[in-house]
Each structure stands twice: as C-alpha cells, then as structure tokens.
Amino acid sequence: MVTRGGRIPRAEQVGATRQQILTAAERLFAEQGLYAVSNRRISAAAGQGNNTAAGLVDAVTGLWTAPVTHS
C-alpha cells in the first residue's frame, strides 16, 4: 500500500525491514553458527544501519529463535 504522498506506511516499512533482518539472520546463522554472528553483522547483511537488528527483534535470543518461528 502506498499513501497519497507516494510513501509506504511506517508499519509496512517496519515489517519489510524485520523480514530482511530475519532472512539475513537465518542465512548467517546457517553459514557461521549462532555464536559467530553479531547484531551488527546481521544488520549489515540486511542492508540496514549498524544495530537495526537489535532494535527490531528482542535481543540476540530473539534473533536466534525468530527465523525458526517465522518459517
């Protein structure tokens, strides 16, 4: 959905960013293992700012479990 001003609503932006974070986390965890991957590395792999992953998913534990629960 796009608003009249041509902008994507904030909720949709957050949802899309969260999906990018989860996809990147899942890939990195599979490639490197859970303990070798930082929030910054996940954020960078998702094309986001330094610590976006930490802001969208509750702590590292949430990132570990989120890819399993969203599949």
pLDDT tens profile 4-42: 666 667 777 777 888 888 888 889 988 998 889 888 888
| Residue 32 confidence (pLDDT) | 94
Domain tally, the chain: 1
The number of beta carbons lying within 10 Å of the beta carbon of residue 20 is 19
Q: Do 55 and 34 meet the contact criterion of CB atoms below 8 Å apart?
A: no
State yes or no: pLDDT of 66 exceeds 70: no
Show the tokens assigned to 53: 């992953």
> Residue 55: inside a domain, yes or no?
yes
The CATH number of residue 29's host domain is: 1.10.10.60
> Within a domain: residue 32?
yes
Predicted confidence at residue 4, as pLDDT, reads: 61
In angstroms, the CA 34 to CA 49 distance is: 21
Q: Domain containing 56: what range?
A: 10-70
Q: Residue 3: inside a domain, yes or no?
A: no
Token pair, residue 13, equals: 């932006």
